[in-house]
Amino acid sequence: MLLVQCGMDRCSGIRLVSRLDPVETAARICDHLEGHYLTGNALVDRLVTLRIGRDHTGNELVRAIDRPLIAEAKGGERHAMRPGPVSLDGRGPALCSDSNTVRIVAVPVFGGPVRATAKREPGTLQPDCKTCRRRLR
């Protein structure tokens, strides 16, 4: 059993089974942090600073992406996710707003995550969000 202290006021932390893989651990911690109304950049920043048990840090739950990818908000609208750190389960800030949390989606036609572009190009998709499309130019 691992105890993760999220650092929020009046929160006892998160208890996790130690046998979880890193992606599942990141997903459960992100769900907990979203319950504290942390979104976008604030969510990823808090995830990085967490201490997981005695031996692990939150850096192990974050990866970097090098180009904008297509991601979905909870409402289903497609956005572009900005390059930079994201959680292992694919949550991070949208290109249109640092406070908007989106999740990378795998598109079955392309066999995985898809690069986001402002103009139609082969092997890419355009976001539904006009602000994201404008910032991709």
Which pLDDT score, from 0 to 100, does residue 63 have? 92
pLDDT in tens, 81-136: 999 999 999 999 999 999 999 999 988 877 888 999 988 888 889 999 999 999 99
> 57 pairs with which residues across the strands?
51
In order of 77, 98, 122, 135, the CA distances from 131 in angstroms are 12, 12, 22, 6
On whether the CB atoms of residues 103 and 50 are closer than 8 A, the answer is no
pLDDT in tens, 87-99: 999 999 999 999 9
Which pLDDT score, from 0 to 100, does residue 79 have? 94
Radius of gyration of the chain, Cα coordinates, nearest whole angstrom: 16
**Is the pLDDT confidence value at 26 over 80?**
yes
**Is the pLDDT confidence value at 77 over 90?**
yes
pLDDT in tens, 30-76: 999 999 999 999 999 999 888 877 777 788 889 999 999 999 999 99
How far, in Å, CA of 101 to CA of 112, rounded?
A: 20
